[in-house]
Structure 1
Amino acid sequence: MSPVINHSLLKAAQSKAVIARYLGDGRMWQEAQ
C-alpha cells in the first residue's frame, strides 16, 4: 500500500471519528434538555 493512500485512509478515519463524536455529543445534549 502506498504511503499516500495510507495517509488519506488515516485522515478519513480521523474525520469519521470527529463526526461521530460531534453527533454523539449533539445527541446527549438533546437528551439532557
Structure 2
Amino acid sequence: MDEVMNGKIDELIQPIITEYQADQLAALSEQN
C-alpha cells in the first residue's frame, strides 16, 4: 500500500519539481 501511495505522490510532485526547476533556470538566465 505504501508503495502505491509513494508512486502516486511522485506522479503529483514530479511535474511541480520540473516546473519549479524551469522557473529557477529562467530566473537565473534573466539575471545574467
Normalization by structure 2: what TM-score? 0.67
Normalization by structure 1: what TM-score? 0.66
RMSD: 1.3
Structure 1 unaligned spans of 5+: 29-33
Runs of 4+ in 1 over 2 A off after TM superposition: 1-5
Q: Percent identical across equivalent pairs?
A: 7
Structure 2 unaligned spans of 5+: none
